[in-house]
């Protein structure tokens, strides 16, 4: 299932998002829900949720009927959090 979703993201979603210097990646698939993180310029765009609703969700759910929902993954990686902690500790 994850490979099907990744293929849709790569072949259908990413070409659209690349026009805005962005991309997408599947971070998790669980209980029929695909969790997608937007990358590049799309990651920090104020319209990220709308992009998910208008572009990503349509392509993924249209291409993989088993997917019941697509959710925007806004989590921050542990690597980024660790880097921020190190920076803050040096400033203290």
pLDDT in tens, 49-86: 898 888 999 999 999 999 999 999 988 777 777 888 88
Q: Return the structure tokens found at 53.
A: 């609703």
Answer whether 0.75 is exceeded by the pTM.
yes
pLDDT given for residue 8 in this prediction = 97
The answer, yes or no, to whether residue 92 has pLDDT greater than 60, is no
CA pair distance 23, 25, nearest whole angstrom: 7
Alpha-helical (H) ranges within the chain are 2-8, 14-18, 48-51, 57-63, 78-91
Q: Return the pLDDT at 91.
A: 62
- Eight-state DSSP code of residue 48: H
**Which of the following CATH numbers is that of domain 2-91: 3.40.50.620, 3.30.300.130, 1.10.20.60, 1.20.910.10?**
3.30.300.130
Phi-psi region of 32 (alpha: psi -120 to 50; beta: other; left: phi over 0): left
Share of the chain above pLDDT 70, in %: 98
As a whole number of angstroms, the distance between CA 33 and CA 30 comes to 5
Question: What gap in Å lies between CA 26 and CA 73, rounded to an integer?
Answer: 9
Whether pLDDT at 42 is above 60 = yes
């Amino acid at each position: 299932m994850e490979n099907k979703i990744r293929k849709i993201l790569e072949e259908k979603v990413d070409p659209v998002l690349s026009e805005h210097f962005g991309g997408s990646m599947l971070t998790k698939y669980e209980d029929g829900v695909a969790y997608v993180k937007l990358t590049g310029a799309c990651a920090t765009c104020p319209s990220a949720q709308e992009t998910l609703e208008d572009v990503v969700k349509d392509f993924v759910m249209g291409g993989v009927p088993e997917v019941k929902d697509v959710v925007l993954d806004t989590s921050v990686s542990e690597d980024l959090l660790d880097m921020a902690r190190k920076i803050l500790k040096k400033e203290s």
